[in-house]
Structure 1
């Protein structure tokens, strides 16, 4: 016969009910643990909007005409450069000597791209970019920004995306390939 105490009595059942109820209250109150890194989202950013005469330093297009595609770089001195899509934004960042005379990456204090679904600006460093979809920006084939891996996966399914990239994965050969409709990055 077993002589050790089992936690099956009325007191143990009450304690379990209390713990389950408390866990439910905590989760409903929003006090649960933070999401796992896989569920991380790019944070919204508050960056100055382009003016009606601001042009993309890479292609020369008037950026304000394309509010659903705007990307922005904000510098320590308060100046900004705006882009008509993530592709030109990355070309600029990867060749600042050509496009941002006298400025360096260390001068940047904020970078935002426009989330495809919400059309709100999100932190470019935390965004997920879909390569090779059937969605075209003002500059043609582009990297399509999303705040989460889940949003990027949903977009890829709906729009034939070939690959999802993070900020540091983007390369100049990949961007040049997009210009001619090549998605092998």
Structure 2
């Protein structure tokens, strides 16, 4: 494109020249958080261990859960059950950290094998499917998939994130 000198005003009005527009553009560019998908990109190393049970998480990609803290630190789990144990007793498993400082929480959808937001997931309890640590909460991104799984695998109920309590988690550990 050819630019003619005549098309550019000799003295622009304050705030109307190219400099403020460039600054506004740079401000917008650096202040917008760009996301390329709903699920985070996760790289699990062979050395990543669940802070609750100590298992190497990379061995169980279908069960991975993750918590991210506001300070940028994050932890992986070999299932939603251990992730909830960490949430309920954060200081025990990660001294110096508090549940109030949790930024994001993810679980792996059982059918899709992709990370989903843990707070919007549907969890099946009491099924005949065991996770790496035994009886487990099975996460799904929608109620229909959870209901199908419940019927196919003798599940007892479907609950939401806010309904998971320490008593629910303890009941999973007591099942035989």
5+ residue gaps, structure 2: 1-36
List gaps (5 residues or longer) in structure 1: 1-42
Aligned to 1:29: none
Match of 1:163 in 2: 157
Give the structure 1 partner of residue 70 of structure 2.
76
Counterpart for residue 32 of structure 2: none
Which of residues 19, 29, 42 is equivalent to 1:48?
A: 42
* 1-structure distance, mates of 2:175, 2:154: 14
- Does structure 1 residue 127 correspond to structure 2 residue 130? no
Q: Distance in 1 between matches of 2:44 and 2:119?
A: 20
Pairwise mapping of residues 1-185 of structure 1 onto structure 2 (< 5 A)?
A: 44-181=38-175
1:125-177 CA-to-partner distances (Å, cap 9, x unmatched) read 00000000001100110000000111110100000110111001011121111
Q: Deviations over 1:34-84 (max 9, x none)?
A: xxxxxxxxx942053321101101101000110000000011222111100
- How many residue pairs align between the two structures? 140
- Cα RMSD for the two superposed structures: 1.4
Report the Cα distance in structure 1 between the residues aligned to 2:54 and 2:65, rounded to whole angstroms: 14
Task: Report the Cα distance in structure 2 between the residues aligned to 1:76 and 1:47, rounded to whole angstroms.
Answer: 17
TM-superposed deviation, 1:106: 2.5
Measure, in 2, the Cα distance between the counterparts of 1:50 and 1:101.
Answer: 22
**Which runs of structure 1 show a deviation greater than 4 angstroms over 4 or more consecutive aligned residues?**
none
Q: TM-score, normalised by structure 1?
A: 0.72
Counterpart in the other structure of 2:25? none
Query: Taking CA–CA contacts closer than 8 Å with sequence separation of 6 or more, which of the two structures ends up with the larger relative contact order?
Result: 1
